[in-house]
Amino acid sequence: MATKKSGYKRKALPWKVKLEVWVRCGGRCAICNRYLLDGVLAHRPIRLGELAHIVGQQNTVGSPRGQNDLPERDTADNVMLVCADEIDAPENLDVFTVEKLLALKHAHEDRIKHVTGIAPDRTTTVLRMIGQVRGQQVELTRQTASSAVLISGDRVPLFLESYSRHGIEIELRHVLGEATIDLRDVPGENGTNGEYYSQAKAVIDNVVDNKLNEGISRDQVAHLSVFGFARIPLLVYLGSRLDDTVPTDIYQRHRHDETWTWSEDGPVVAFATHLDLDVPPAEEAVLVLNISGTIQPGELPLRLAGLRRYRISSADAAAAPDIMRHRDSLARFQENLRALFADTEANARAIRRLHILPAVPLSAAVSLGRVHDRQVHPSLTIYDRTDGGYRPALEIK
């Protein structure tokens, strides 16, 4: 592409080169990923893309980035598909260098090749629960979720309106981000107010019942990818509402690099279940989860102190916020939960309620709710740490 100020007219590219570049780019801008065959005004198919040389077509001052010793310039390796002519503007030449444009081109074309190589049955419906925790919020855009799914799940993420154009999103003011129900004036945002959790649960129920389950019943959701950032009790509740017949991947935000992509190199952590207080089973018992942190026995509410007490903790690593860096660590945690629930069913049937004190990563919280079977396992009372102590936040009966 030549600028209007350059004074020369670029030669036409061979049609085979044009075709190859369009195919490599998948009809999308190699810089911003815009689809270049959709007109947004008249809503008619229209070719919006431009084919731009990375090293200019002519070895002259007037040809952007043209003063280079590259011998062959009219090749698909030296041409990229873009949606605007900004890369050749004189004001931008110091930004869009040859090296920068080559990196953008290669990354985009590699991604297009990867995505289009994934079989149709590798699609997944993305469910995001976006929120704040004690005033903290994280970046969890569609692009973030898409990248994590493509890299970690080797699947194509669907953001579909009525399962054809948009993803499923749960949003709460304070708890889950942008308002569907505005909870700014509800007292007890720190978790001590039961009405706060009741309203949050109602929003989750609405989305799951009216969007997700409807899509499942119509065979439009074959696989689910779950991203959640909210208070731990709400993540457990979300997990409890997910249909266990639908294959599901749960994603974890990693603090060390602020991504949601599972590590392929991180250590796989094993977990162990302990019976810390072996008293005869009664109707109530306690489960302490020391995964992302450690809850000391003295931190338990007084009314729980004499109850039968189970604990799940790491068997080979210290409790830490980023302990779930590898997806297999989450799978092992789920195995321990299933084994514990099976043990209570077989050997402690008197237990009708488990008080859960969780120091767990986000993904583990969702997994806890998903592993729990309401028809078979004891009811759960999920605690949250507020005002320096643990208080019951919500129940899963």
59-83 average pLDDT score: 88
pLDDT digits (tens, 9 = 90+) for 289-318: 999 999 999 999 999 999 999 999 999 999
pLDDT band at 240 (very low <50, low <70, confident <90, very high): very high
Task: Give CA–CA dist 289/355, Å, rounded.
Answer: 11
Averaged confidence pLDDT in the chain: 83
Name the residue among 99, 107, 129, 215 with its Cα closest to residue 164. Answer: 215
Other CB atoms closer than 10 Å to residue 258's CB: what's the count?
10
pLDDT attached to residue 170: 60
pLDDT digits (tens, 9 = 90+) for 125-149: 888 887 666 666 677 787 888 888 8
List, in order of start, the domains of the chain with CATH numbers.
15-116 (no CATH), 120-250 (3.40.50), 271-396 (3.40.50)
Alpha helices in the chain (DSSP H): 15-25, 98-116, 142-148, 194-207, 213-217, 232-240, 327-347, 362-371
With H, G, I as helix, E, B as strand and everything else as coil, classify residue 121. helix
Q: What tokens appear for 125 in the block?
A: 């419906």
Q: Which residues pair with 386 in a beta bridge?
A: 389
- Given a contact cutoff of 8 angstroms between Cβ atoms, the answer to whether 184 and 86 are in contact is no
Place of tokens 């801008």: 29
pLDDT digits (tens, 9 = 90+) for 248-270: 999 999 998 899 999 988 799 99
Residue 344 confidence (pLDDT) above 70:
yes
Task: Give CA–CA dist 30/101, Å, rounded.
Answer: 9
Q: Is 36 left (phi over 0), alpha (psi -120 to 50) or beta?
A: alpha
Task: Give CA–CA dist 71/30, Å, rounded.
Answer: 23
Q: Say what percent of the chain tops pLDDT 70.
A: 84
With H, G, I as helix, E, B as strand and everything else as coil, classify residue 268. coil
Q: What tokens appear for 327 in the block?
A: 């997806």
Residue 37 confidence (pLDDT) above 70:
yes
pLDDT digits (tens, 9 = 90+) for 175-211: 322 222 222 333 454 555 567 788 888 888 888 888 7
pLDDT attached to residue 305: 93
Task: Give CA–CA dist 177/133, Å, rounded.
Answer: 10
Q: Which residues pair with 53 in a beta bridge?
A: 79
Residue 84 confidence (pLDDT) above 60:
yes
Residue 348 confidence (pLDDT) above 80:
yes
Q: What tokens appear for 250 in the block?
A: 């749960």
Residues written for the chain: 397
343-370 average pLDDT score: 96
CA distances from 230 to 95, 187, 235 (A): 38, 17, 6
Q: Which of 49-58, 157-166, 169-178, 294-303 has the highest mean pLDDT?
A: 294-303
CA distances from 256 to 37, 80, 325 (A): 39, 34, 10
Q: How many CA atoms lie within 13 A of 179 on its CB side?
A: 5
Q: How many CA atoms lie within 13 A of 322 on its CB side?
A: 13
pLDDT attached to residue 125: 86
Residue 244 confidence (pLDDT) above 70:
yes
Q: What does the DSSP 8-state code read for residue 373?
A: -
Q: Say what percent of the chain tops pLDDT 90.
A: 45
